[in-house]
Amino acid sequence: MPENKDSEEWQRLRSEPGPSLKIFNVRFDHMRNPRNGKTERMTVLESPDAANVVARNQEGQILFVRQYRFGIGRYTLELPGGMVEPGEPQEAAVRRELREETGVVSDRWTYLGKIPSNPVFQDSYIYHWLAEDVRLGEAPQLDDGEEIFLEWLSPETVEAKLRAGHFEHPHTVNALLLYFNRAS
């Protein structure tokens, strides 16, 4: 196994646009491998950043959304969140997404951290937030392609489900790891 040599970067020789999809633009980057000098055409999905939130009410329960995920063809239990609009600060985006998906609002926000959405082929990041003392603000305003059911769970139940591998969405898993690490 060769040593990690951060000084030897992959070189992008050229890029070409691919198809535009609903939430992604495809880009093809022709990249030179520093190990062998060979060029490969790599696929990159250009997408907006996203944000999600660990939303806790005054009783300490954490809010989850159950929604249908088309990629795996079933409902998943995950944290509320969504895409950051162009030019929108990510904190404003997570506040908006929480309100639109759940009708819940908060005045107490803490940034937990970020990770790449999927560094294998996406160029975006997911930002994780904590909202405390959340309360019902207004009726949810769902997109046409959404159907969301709300579930409140105790931190103990959430941690047990996390340890058991119950949560399938990697963004939820990462946000919960950051949240429980911060809480300990």
The tens digit of pLDDT for each residue in 116-153 reads 999 999 999 999 999 999 999 888 887 888 888 999 99
Residue 12 has a pLDDT of: 95
Residue 7 has a pLDDT of: 53
Q: Could you state, in chain order, the average pLDDT of each consecutive group of 10 residues for the chain (184 residues)?
A: 63 95 94 95 96 97 95 95 94 95 96 95 96 91 85 98 96 97 81
* Domain limits, the chain: 11-46, 50-183
- The C-alpha angle with vertex 145 and arms to 79 and 155, in degrees rounded to 5, equals 10
For 54-81, give one letter per residue: b (16+ CB within 10 A) or e: bbbbeeebbbbbebeeeeeeeebbbbbb
Q: What's the CATH class of domain 50-183?
A: alpha beta
What is this structure's pTM?
0.89
- The C-alpha angle with vertex 146 and arms to 83 and 167, in degrees rounded to 5, equals 75
Closest-CA residue to 128 (of 171, 86, 68, 66): 171
| CA atoms 107, 113, 117, 121: torsion sign | positive
Cα 49 from Cα 26, distance rounded (Å): 15
CA distances from 6 to 58, 83, 129 (A): 46, 31, 31
Cα 86 from Cα 79, distance rounded (Å): 22
Cα 181 from Cα 145, distance rounded (Å): 34
What residues contact 85, with CB distance under 8 A and at least 6 apart? 48, 93
